[in-house]
Amino acid sequence: MSEDNLPQDFSFKLFATDGHARAGEITTAHGTIQTPAFMPVGTAATVKAMMVEHVYATGAEILLGNTYHLMLRPTAERIHTFGGLHKFMNWPHPILTDSGGFQVMSLAKLRKITEEGVKFQSHIDGSTHMLTPERSMEIQALLNSDIQMAFDECTPFPCEKTEAESSMELSMRWAVRSKNAFSGGPGQAIFGIVQGSVHEDLRARSIKALVDIDFPGLAIGGLAVGEGQEEMLRVLDFTVPLMPHDRPRYLMGVGTPEDLLLSCLRGVDMFDCVMPTRSGRHGQAFTRYGKINLSNARFADDATPLDPQSTCPAANSYSRAYYHHLFKSKEILGAMLLSWANIHYYQDLMRGVRDAIKAGTFDDFATETRENWKRGLDR
């Protein structure tokens, strides 16, 4: 924990590139992160159904925490009195917090958006709250996260271009206010969020605005909202090349292993998604064989470990038949083991991506990985 030592400045180093893909390292107050990186989501100060020691053992070096959830329960002020989110949840490594903008739109009730910010009612108890750029940054400061996100409006999808434009412009004005309100110390940083829906000119204007504000990292928002993989990749194809080469690029809320692989090929450095843990709670495994549904009757008598070649104890020590039994019996252990195995697989994939970029063999790695997924268990 660098909180016991002299804090390090926030920085991003690139080690290698292969085509558009990049391998690098982010340094934060609580440690370094190898990129491309996948961040497990610790919504309410816990990666659902997982021990933090196991999360770390998978190779995850940074978690995502949700401002919206934590401001409502147990409250940012309370977490601050406990010494911040790292101490509260026993995760001494880097944490990125989102701004609350996305959850306000997807979870809260009776939203009212003004220039000032978003007034909404809690989905938990109906109480009224206000999120503004200033309040979002105050909350993230109380949580003491290493990477904090500018407060933005989550543009609906699909929407008219005029709506996408005015939403992006509002987010850019909020980005200025967020940067001004950011109070991070050494090793902490604030990232801006590129908006503009599926429109190249809007994305380009958004990036220019964020570069002018001089954020040390940029995220791509407004994707993985129902547009589909093909459209997402089309947007990445014209958006990523416009982003600064010397700063981390974070694609928010993405995605499947294939989404990650194809986005890395396009130069993305960071990802977060609830998919490996949410799927893990419902019997969906992500493996080098592709996605498999362990509730399927074909696994009732399959004594093979989930993945005998995995280095993850949850994958190499428990049979598919045992997993099948646990999900059929609705046993919590099923969610525990499969969330662990899925997060481990995501980290295995990112390790493979980083190694391949450094070796200059990323195209071959991507082809082979996708072929393995397609072949499935029957090889």
Identify the three-state secondary structure at position 377.
helix
Across-strand partners of 17? 22
Report if residue 333 touches its own copies, rule: CB under 8 A. yes
Burial (0-12, 13-18, 19+ Cβ within 10 Å), 329: exposed
Report if residue 107 touches its own copies, rule: CB under 8 A. no
Of residues 14, 16, 44, 159, which one binds its own copies by CB under 8 A? Answer: 44
Report if residue 312 touches its own copies, rule: CB under 8 A. no
- Longest CA–CA span in the chain (Å) reads 60
DSSP at 123: T
Stretch that binds its own copies, among 75-83, 97-105, 129-137, 154-162 (CB under 8 A): 75-83
Report if residue 41 touches its own copies, rule: CB under 8 A. no
Question: Which one from 98, 146, 259, 307 is the annotated catalytic residue?
Answer: 98
Question: Which one from 146, 259, 272, 307 is the annotated catalytic residue?
Answer: 272
**Minimal distance, residue 357 CB to its own copies, in Å:** 34
Is 269 a known active-site residue?
no
Distances (CA, A) of 100 to 140, 158, 243, 244, 314: 10, 21, 23, 25, 33
Interatomic CA distance for residues 119 and 249, integer angstroms? 30
Across-strand partners of 63? 95
Is 272 a known active-site residue?
yes
Interatomic CA distance for residues 23 and 14, integer angstroms? 6
Report if residue 278 touches its own copies, rule: CB under 8 A. no
Report if residue 236 touches its own copies, rule: CB under 8 A. no
Report if residue 88 touches its own copies, rule: CB under 8 A. yes
Tell me whether residue 318 or residue 345 sits nearer to its own copies (CB atom): 318
Of residues 21, 29, 41, 50, which one binds its own copies by CB under 8 A? Answer: 50
Which residue matches tokens 């340094």? 27
Interatomic CA distance for residues 48 and 55, integer angstroms? 10
Residues near its own copies (CB under 8 A) are 44-46, 48-51, 73-74, 78, 81-82, 88-90, 281, 300-301, 303, 317-319, 321-322, 324-326, 328-329, 331-333, 335-336
Q: Kindly list the catalytic residues.
A: 98, 272
